[in-house]
């Protein structure tokens, strides 16, 4: 990677104005390199070794930038346009002139667009030979049929010149009265108006289209249309990794009469919240968080965790106050920063369309559980919600799952449980239920145990709907 650039380009790349504007600032003596004032823009700077300051403030150099944008309808995927708003216009506070959208969405299509200046990564993700998957949610005029699903899977002849690669079509809901369908479709290419043309080829039309995923990247549920954010290190590392080719399997919901979800790390991406809270809470008592804390409290109820804290760290407060303090610390994050796991909302719709009741069985508190469900407007999908306040014995004991099955009036053997930690999988197994372990960054160090104990392993809920999960036994 080239590390030597002109000083004026360095500052222009980092958003301090055009080349001519930063040259004037340099001439005015407002810029130093390694503590020495420089007044010529053509001075070469090592982006990795030299220290640049602008008006006394340090300016670091970032070679590549990566952003997730929730593109609204009416915005075009282009770097510039004289008459129309572009995706680059939406991140106008980022002044780099080399940013571009990695791939395109139609003007009226919403959803996930990655903005970057990394041409090599963009080329790898977009190259047809790499078969990088993209999942879209759509509303369709017409009732999607089994024949449509098979035609998509076979490789649909769109017209005389174009036969699409095999694609996966999943029906979320069918509205008989309106003669409309809600669907997910997974494609591995990106031809012009491809999804619209595919549905036209089977006698239907697209009313609304939104991209949810691009490779391993999933749209952040808290990003409003037009909003953007930088990719996290976790997201970027996943994008950089080789894409695994998906193999379609059987429908594991055939004999399932109820689905039960753990909450934290399973239905919502929240485990990072508790790690931060544990650090902050113990710091309030002048204590550092021990390395074995997360392992020792994994799976146990919120009351048991409070007892553990009180006894191990000699906390003077009552159990009720400890739990209350935790809830207050977590509430804002749960309602504004904790996203659903990728595909969770669509999977809940999918289960509802198949008449499969859902429940939550969590070690968390009722207040936080209800708050995060309400924040994502998904409370109505669950017939039963049991929390750590309702059950005395936490996981790996099976009590919470057996009690949940009893309230659902479903035999345990017909229940499918989703869990993210080994203790949770053990609890489901002891209850006589089938368990699918879901990948979660905060429990990845336990992945071997999760795979050993669970029946299935999934990366996200799209794996279940598109039948691309791993069957372990």
For position 116, what pLDDT does the model report?
A: 93
For position 93, what pLDDT does the model report?
A: 62
Residues 438/418, Cβ–Cβ less than 8 Å: yes
Determine what percent of the chain falls in helix, strand and coil, rounding each to the nearest 5: 35, 20, 45
Provide the Cα torsion 235, 241, 245, 250; round to 10°: -50
Tell me the C-alpha distance between 204 and 202, whole Å.
6
What is the tally of helices (H) and strands (E) in the chain?
A: 16, 22
316: three-class secondary structure by DSSP: coil
Q: Tokens 């969405």 belong to which residue?
A: 105
DSSP H or E run through 58: strand 57-59
Residue 106 annotated in active site: yes
Q: Inter-axis angle of helices 271-283 and 319-336, to 10 degrees? A: 130
Active-site residue, selected from the candidate residues 46, 89, 106, 325 = 106
**Neighbouring residues of 314: CB distance < 8 A, sequence distance ≥ 6:** none
Q: How open is the CA angle 96-99-100, to the nearest 5 degrees?
A: 155
Across 362-413, the runs of DSSP E, i.e. the strands, are 384-386
Residues 99/63, Cβ–Cβ less than 8 Å: no
Tell me the C-alpha distance between 230 and 146, whole Å.
40
> Residue 138 half-sphere exposure, CB side, CA atoms within 13 Å?
27
Residues 209/138, Cβ–Cβ less than 8 Å: yes
Taking the chain (473 residues) in runs of 10, the rounded mean pLDDT of each run is: 80 80 89 91 87 88 88 94 93 71 94 93 87 95 96 91 92 94 94 94 97 94 92 89 72 95 96 89 93 82 89 94 92 92 96 97 92 96 94 88 97 97 96 96 90 96 93 87
Query: DSSP characters for 101-167?
Result: ESS---TT-EEEEEEES-HHHHHHHH-GGG---EEEEEEEES---HHHHHHHHH--B-SSS-BPPP-
Q: What pTM was computed for the model? A: 0.82
**Helix ranges restricted to H, 337-461:** 344-353, 366-375, 399-408, 422-430, 447-453
Residues 102/121, Cβ–Cβ less than 8 Å: yes
For position 312, what pLDDT does the model report?
A: 95
- The CA R_g of the chain, rounded to the nearest whole Å, is 26
Residues 278/289, Cβ–Cβ less than 8 Å: yes
For position 96, what pLDDT does the model report?
A: 60
For position 97, what pLDDT does the model report?
A: 67
Tell me the C-alpha distance between 225 and 237, whole Å.
25
Closest to 419 in 3D by CA, of 387, 443, 392, 399: 443
Q: What are phi and psi of 331, to 5 degrees?
A: -60, -50
CATH of 66-240 given 3.40.50.10490, 3.40.50.620, 3.30.420.40, 3.30.2350.10? 3.30.2350.10
For position 446, what pLDDT does the model report?
A: 92
Class of 4-59 in CATH: alpha beta
pLDDT tens figures, 350-400 = 999 999 999 999 988 899 999 999 999 999 999 999 998 888 788 899 999
Closest to 126 in 3D by CA, of 102, 106, 147, 149: 102
Closest to 28 in 3D by CA, of 7, 55, 51, 9: 55
Q: What are phi and psi of 428, to 5 degrees?
A: -65, -45
Residues 217/192, Cβ–Cβ less than 8 Å: no
Task: Map out the domains of the chain as residue ranges.
Answer: 4-59, 66-240, 247-473
Tell me the C-alpha distance between 473 and 468, whole Å.
15
Across 304-452, the runs of DSSP E, i.e. the strands, are 358-361, 384-386, 415-419, 434-438
Tell me the C-alpha distance between 286 and 265, whole Å.
28
64: three-class secondary structure by DSSP: coil
Class of 247-473 in CATH: alpha beta
């Amino acid at each position: 990677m080239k590390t030597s650039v002109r000083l004026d380009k360095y500052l222009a790349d980092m958003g301090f104005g055009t080349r001519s504007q930063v040259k004037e600032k340099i001439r005015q003596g407002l810029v130093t390199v390694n503590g020495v004032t420089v007044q010529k823009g053509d001075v070469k700077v090592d982006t990795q070794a030299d220290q640049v300051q602008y008006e006394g403030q340090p300016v670091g150099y970032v070679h590549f930038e990566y952003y997730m944008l929730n593109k609204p309808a009416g915005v075009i995927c282009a770097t510039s346009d004289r008459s129309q708003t572009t995706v680059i216009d939406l991140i106008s506070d980022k002044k780099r002139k080399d940013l571009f959208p990695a791939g395109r969405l139609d003007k009226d299509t919403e959803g996930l667009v990655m903005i970057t200046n990394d041409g090599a990564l963009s080329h790898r993700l977009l190259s047809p030979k790499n078969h990088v998957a993209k999942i879209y949610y759509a509303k369709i005029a017409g009732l999607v049929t089994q024949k449509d699903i098979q035609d998509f899977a076979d490789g649909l002849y769109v017209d005389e010149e174009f036969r699409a690669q095999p694609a996966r079509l999943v029906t979320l809901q069918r509205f008989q009265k309106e003669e409309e369908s809600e669907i997910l479709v997974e494609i591995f290419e990106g031809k012009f108006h491809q999804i619209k043309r595919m549905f036209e080829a089977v006698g239907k039309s697209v009313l609304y289209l939104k991209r949810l995923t691009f490779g391993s990247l999933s749209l952040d549920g808290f990003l409003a249309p037009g909003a953007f954010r930088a990719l996290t290190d976790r997201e970027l590392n996943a994008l950089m990794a080789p894409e695994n080719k998906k193999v379609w399997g059987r429908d594991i919901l055939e004999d399932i009469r109820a689905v039960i979800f753990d909450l934290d790390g399973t239905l919502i991406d929240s485990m990072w919240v508790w790690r931060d809270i544990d650090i902050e809470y113990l710091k309030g008592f002048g204590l550092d968080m021990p390395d074995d804390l997360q392992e020792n409290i994994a799976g146990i109820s919120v009351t048991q965790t409070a007892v553990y804290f009180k006894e191990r760290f000699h906390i003077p407060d009552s159990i009720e106050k400890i739990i209350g303090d935790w809830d207050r610390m977590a509430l804002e994050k749960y309602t504004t920063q904790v996203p659903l796991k990728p595909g969770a909302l669509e999977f809940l719709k999918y289960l509802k369309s198949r008449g499969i009741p859902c429940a939550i069985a969590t070690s968390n508190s009722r207040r936080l559980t209800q708050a995060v469900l309400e924040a994502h407007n998904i409370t109505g999908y669950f017939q039963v919600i049991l929390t750590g306040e309702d059950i005395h014995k936490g996981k790996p004991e099976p009590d919470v799952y057996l009690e949940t099955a009893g309230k659902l009036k479903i035999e345990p053997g017909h229940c499918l449980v989703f869990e993210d930690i080994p203790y949770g999988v053990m609890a489901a197994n002891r209850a006589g239920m089938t368990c699918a372990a879901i990948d979660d960054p905060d429990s990845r160090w336990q992945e071997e145990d999760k795979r050993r104990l669970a029946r299935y392993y999934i990366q996200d809920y799209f794996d279940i709907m598109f039948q691309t999960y791993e069957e372990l036994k």
